Amino acid sequence: MLYCLSIPFIIVAIAAILLKIYIKLTIKWNNCYNCLVGKTALVTGANIGIGYNTALDFAKRGARVILACRNKGRAEDALRRIIKTTGNQNVTYKLVDFTSLQSVRDFAADINKNEERIDILVNNAGIVISNEEYTKDGIQTVLHVNHISPFLLTHLLIDKLKKSAPSRIVNVSSLAAKNAGLSVNSINKINSISKNFLNIAMYNDSKLCNILFTTELAKRLGESTVTVNAVHPGGVRTNILNNTSGFVKDIFSILMKLFFVTSEEGAQTQIYLSVSNDVAHITGGLFEKCKQIDIYQTAQDADLARKVWEKSEELAKLKDSEKISYL
Ligand SMILES: NC(=O)c1ccc[n+]([C@@H]2O[C@H](COP(=O)([O-])OP(=O)(O)OC[C@H]3O[C@@H](n4cnc5c(N)ncnc54)[C@H](OP(=O)(O)O)[C@@H]3O)[C@@H](O)[C@H]2O)c1
């Protein structure tokens, strides 16, 4: 009896080990060593996880790095660690809360007033939550943090990015976008709680919005030398599940421990997109493992991209003078 039970267990264990080896062997490391002295990079959600490792890499390359974080203590801790590891003193942090439109506006005004240039903007901050909640701006919290705030921030910094051109915007999306349910017909439901069996439907939709934002922004920026691309960092072992509960947390926590890559490994594609000469002229693309991949089918609808854009302008309360129109 014990013998019979152990055979399936051994098969599953061997399959898991082989999968783990496969994942490790297929990690793609950014192999560009470009120096960033004289450049300024802004990374949102830079105190931990993938964002921290992205900012750390930029600091190693000599950039001025701005860590956009929501918590002073965590920001100071990240800043200390980056300066200690890299010796680069030209790293700073600024506080911003992506659940507040006003906070994003204050943050952008500070950057526009006090920073000479922004060469790289990595829209990385993101959350997954199980609770059904809205921010005080009346926006569904996951949509607000993951899409509306980076959408607003990018608009408010676009002139600075244009002045610093060639410059790059990198939007951190996810494979979860493949499972999004958002469509042209359901566009008016973009800001209502949608649920799926794992309770992460809103996350999927918000990550789809990241890609739709990328493709539409690339069109609007046209031939300008500001490029914008989206990235799926892979399954990465981070704190992203800390605010989830129940089934989604149980399942993904196990997968994370067993199969997900480290934050440093997960940061490679967004670093590649930010620094490599290979992608200097590519815009509107989606990348994974330091390689351009086909835009997921869910995100190929140009009409949906335009409608999501218009809805996002409304939710972000953009003034007419702040809108980005086609060149
Ligand atoms: N981990 C994965 O497997 C995976 C897969 C696909 C895509 N991604 C994407 O990768 C990005 C980074 O996630 P991660 O895995 O590195 O997660 P993480 O370790 O939880 O980091 C998320 C970052 O976002 C910040 N953040 C959260 N809410 C914020 C708010 N209201 N205002 C400002 N900043 C806020 C967090 O700050 P605090 O530390 O203060 O909370 C943290 O710095 C996200 O966009 C995520 O969707 C991750």
Q: What is the pLDDT of residues 181-233, one digit of tens each?
A: 999 888 888 888 777 656 688 999 999 999 999 999 999 999 879 999 999 99
> Would residue 324 count as lying in a domain?
no
Of 85-89, 159-163, 237-241, 287-291, the range with the lowest mean pLDDT is: 237-241
**What residues are in contact with ligand 1 under a 6 Å CB criterion?**
45, 47-51, 70-71, 74, 96-99, 124-127, 145, 172, 174, 232-233, 235-236, 238-240, 260
Tell me what percent of the residues of the chain surpass a pLDDT of 90: 77
Contact 207, 146 (CB under 8 A): yes
Q: Is residue 14 part of a domain?
A: no
Mean of per-residue pLDDT scores for the chain: 93
Atom of ligand 1 minimally distant from the CA of 240: 20
Indicate if the pLDDT at residue 286 is higher than 90. Answer: yes
Angle value at C-alpha 85, between 81 and 88, nearest 5 degrees: 95
The rounded percent of the chain whose pLDDT value lies above 70 is 97
Residues 6+ apart with CB under 8 A from 197: none
Centre of ligand 1 from the C-alpha of residue 247, in Å: 20
Query: How crowded is residue 62: how many other Cβ atoms within 10 Å of its Cβ?
Result: 16
Ligand 1 nearest-atom number relative to CA 203 = 47
Answer yes or no: is pLDDT of 105 > 90.
Answer: yes
Cα distance between residue 214 and residue 151, in whole Å: 10
Rounded to 10 deg, the angle between the 302-315 and 201-221 helix axes is 100
The answer to whether position 296 is within a domain reads yes
Question: What integer pLDDT is reported at residue 40 of this predicted model?
Answer: 98
- Residue 6's pLDDT is what? 82
Q: What is the pLDDT of residue 103?
A: 98
In angstroms, what is the span from residue 69 Cα to ligand 1's centroid? 10
Catalytic residues: 203
**Do the domain assignments include residue 43?**
yes
Residue tagged 């600075």 (tokens): 160
pLDDT of 223 reads 80
> Would the pLDDT of 2 be above 60?
no
**DSSP at 175:** G
| Domain residue limits at 194 | 35-318
How far apart, in whole angstroms, are the C-alpha atoms of residue 205 and residue 13? 34
Band of the pLDDT at 314, cuts 50, 70, 90? very high
Give 22: exposed, middle or buried? Use CB within 10 Å, 0-12, 13-18, 19+: exposed
Give me the pLDDT at residue 4, please: 62
* Least reliable range by pLDDT among 3-7, 88-92, 95-99, 239-243: 3-7
pLDDT digits (tens, 9 = 90+) for 262-278: 999 999 999 999 999 99
How many domains are contained in the chain?
A: 1
d(CA 139, CA 192): 8
pLDDT at 8: 78
Q: Which residues pair with 293 in a beta bridge?
A: 286
**77 lies in a domain?**
yes
> In the predicted model, is pLDDT for residue 3 greater than 70?
no
CATH classification at residue 99: 3.40.50.720
Q: For residue 6, is it within any domain?
A: no
Centre of ligand 1 from the C-alpha of residue 126, in Å:
4
Q: Is residue 18 part of a domain?
A: no
Residues 17-51: pLDDT tens digits?
888 888 888 889 998 999 999 999 999 999 999 99
Does the residue 323 lie in any domain? no
